[in-house]
Amino acid sequence: MTTRTEPRPAKLTRKGEQTRMRIVTAAAQLMFDNGVAGTTMEDVKEAAQASSSQLYHYFADKQALVLAVIAYQDETVVGGQEPMLARLDSIEGLRAWCGFLVQHQRDLECRGGCPIGSLGGELAETDPKARVAVSGAFQRWESGIRGGLHAMHERGELAADPEDLALTILAALQGGLLLTQIHRDVRPLEVTLKAMIDHVAAHTAQP
Amino acid sequence: MTTRTEPRPAKLTRKGEQTRMRIVTAAAQLMFDNGVAGTTMEDVKEAAQASSSQLYHYFADKQALVLAVIAYQDETVVGGQEPMLARLDSIEGLRAWCGFLVQHQRDLECRGGCPIGSLGGELAETDPKARVAVSGAFQRWESGIRGGLHAMHERGELAADPEDLALTILAALQGGLLLTQIHRDVRPLEVTLKAMIDHVAAHTAQP
């Protein structure tokens, strides 16, 4: 599961890279708001203020654009959390990360769900390349969560398998986000993440 | 959140009810396999071996059919689990239910995810009626999980809030199903549900 996305066209100019990124960010926002099926290449063209020739220069078809959006969300969502994930080697770090996740859903009024999970749920059965790309993003996320737990385990502070724990926390986060999106209520995410913190705390020597 | 679906057309004949149900089950399977966006009214017509006039007699448009599919999955998935949910008042009952869920994913080769969660994830931002209907199905599911936990709590066997615990278990189940679908591997669901059983067991006087 290493093939995350198609290789980018090589040697983009600085301006070309900017145009490409403008298209990808516009597509990512549209797909977050309306789903992949609810987003046409025409919508993306308008939102990105790009010409058809620009759009199809960078992306042969909608599937290529979808893969670029998954890579972008991987970088934005998982990459953006990495400074916080790097501090998950304590209950306090876990609390700070969970607090951020809950506040972020409050800010969004519980709309949209997880930008990666939503893409995965919509595309898993119809676009095998997209499924593999989302699988890669989830593995990176799980690995980020696992790092701190491994450190706690190594230091003898955590008496539980960090592998299983990291996978459980990511699953609980995804399910909490889905229920929060569906009910338009932050409580499912809040309660589920609190249970995860308690679950980790029950296996640690930390307060 | 009581409005689950549109009222059905009143007084269907037995034959009419059978035709309607044939259309709904065909649509449910197609939407499970290919998503809502990947399913056209034409696909449903063919799969159900129905005429256009039959299809549009029972369902004014695709949205009406989608709401009927959500009600059908609510009845099939949540209703179908109710005998098992009724026995969730012990760790043994919880283990049996989780074992069933994992085996079911094995049987499906991890394809399709949760029939209700998938519909919710795909439709939440674009179809408010569908979102409310899925919210109702999740509330029924949560309530089914909560019943047994409440009974354990009443008997003094469970020293944790059954409300929070039921919500956490449903979230963990949804996230576990999504990761299992994306990775095409039953491990995420298995590990996550095992963690939930351990989490409940840690708050009970039972073995």
Q: Which structural domain range is residue B89 located in?
A: 70-201
Domain boundary among B60, B81, B102: B60
Is A188 an interface residue toward B (CB < 8 Å)?
Answer: yes
Looking at residue B1, its pLDDT comes to 43
Identify whether residues A192 and A110 lie together within a single domain.
yes
Q: Provide the domain count of chain A.
A: 2
Is A159 an interface residue toward B (CB < 8 Å)?
Answer: no
Identify whether residues A48 and A77 lie together within a single domain.
no
Contact between residue B58 and residue B89 where contact means Cβ atoms under 8 Å apart: no
Q: How far is B112 from chain A (nearest CA, A)?
A: 7
Contact between residue A113 and residue A28 where contact means Cβ atoms under 8 Å apart: no
Is B204 an interface residue toward A (CB < 8 Å)?
Answer: no
What is the ipTM metric for this complex? 0.93
Judge whether B75 lies within some domain.
Answer: yes
Long-range contacts of B162-167 (CB under 8 A, 24+ apart): B164/A191, B164/A194, B164/A195, B165/A195, B165/B199, B165/B200, B165/B203, B166/B142, B167/A179, B167/A187, B167/A188, B167/A191, B167/A192, B167/B142
Judge whether B65 lies within some domain.
Answer: no
Q: pLDDT digit of tens for each residue in chain A (207 aa)?
A: 444 455 555 678 999 999 999 999 999 999 999 999 999 999 999 999 999 999 999 999 999 999 999 999 999 999 999 999 999 999 999 999 999 999 999 999 999 999 999 999 999 999 999 999 999 999 999 999 999 999 999 999 999 999 999 999 999 999 999 999 999 999 999 999 999 999 999 999 754
**Amino acid symbol at B129:** K
Domain boundary among B60, B80, B96: B60
Spacing of C-alpha A47 from chain mean position: 22
Residue B157: how many other CB atoms lie within 10 Å: 16
Is B201 an interface residue toward A (CB < 8 Å)?
Answer: no
Is B93 an interface residue toward A (CB < 8 Å)?
Answer: no
CB contact under 8 A, B182 and A111: no
A37, A38, A171: residue with CB nearest B188: A171
Identify whether residues B132 and B157 lie together within a single domain.
yes
Please name which of A6, A68, A62, A60 lies closest in space to residue A39, comparing C-alpha atoms: A62
Judge whether A19 lies within some domain.
Answer: yes
Residue B204's DSSP bridge partners are B158
Write out the two tokens for B131: 């979102």
> What are the pLDDT digits (tens) for B162-184?
999 999 999 999 999 999 999 99
CB contact under 8 A, A121 and B117: yes
> What are the pLDDT digits (tens) for B58-102?
999 999 999 999 999 999 999 999 999 999 999 999 999 999 999
Give alpha helix (H) positions in A91-161: 91-107, 115-123, 128-154
HEC sequence for A59-71: CCCHHHHHHHHHH
Judge whether B207 lies within some domain.
Answer: no
Residue B91: how many other CB atoms lie within 10 Å: 18
The domain that contains B14 carries what CATH number? 1.10.10.60
Judge whether A196 lies within some domain.
Answer: yes
Is B109 an interface residue toward A (CB < 8 Å)?
Answer: no
Q: How far is A166 from chain B (nearest CA, A)?
A: 10
